[in-house]
Structure 1
Amino acid sequence: MPERNMHSWNIMISSYIRNSIHHDGLSVFGELVRSGLRPDHYTLPPVFKACGGIAGVRVGVVLYGMVVKLGFERYVVVGSAVLDFYSKCGGLSDARRVFDGLV
């Protein structure tokens, strides 16, 4: 595509991840970030799903820092994805902290 927008990036990322091609979805997410675009609240939930699918704890923790920095921690869809990620990776105390913050 000669011109990519957030919608096209989000479709590519979520398509890979929906089809359990987690590493490629994360790779496309990395391209998005390197391109200088800021992920939105639609981009992040599938990326957390990929981290949970591959037990990518380090990536997920860094990604959660991005969520906080971008101010998306109170978005229910994003918070639910973070909660699911921490639960799948065994971080139950972190999952509880996220859950308590979803008010």
Structure 2
Amino acid sequence: MNEHIMLPPDFSGRNATQARNAFLQLVAPGVKKIIADGSRVDAVDAVGLGVLVMTQRRLQKQGGELVLQGMSQPMAVILDKVRLRSSFGVPL
């Protein structure tokens, strides 16, 4: 089963708890893929990236994956800087 989520425009520490809770609700038994749309992201920081990494690890433990699609420029830049782009299935 696949799930979809739209990342918020401010995907940073200000929204970390809310974003983390949204992802945790999607990571359920039987979910093999979460597709996150980052096209609206204007701001992202280490806390936002931490939410993505945590979600990816939880999904991998149950044989799933987190895929990022529709990356905004700010999101793509930060993923490149920390070398996480390929970890989330984002083409170069």
TM-score (norm 2): 0.41
Larger Rg: 1
1 or 2, which has the higher strand percentage?
2
TM-score (norm 1): 0.39
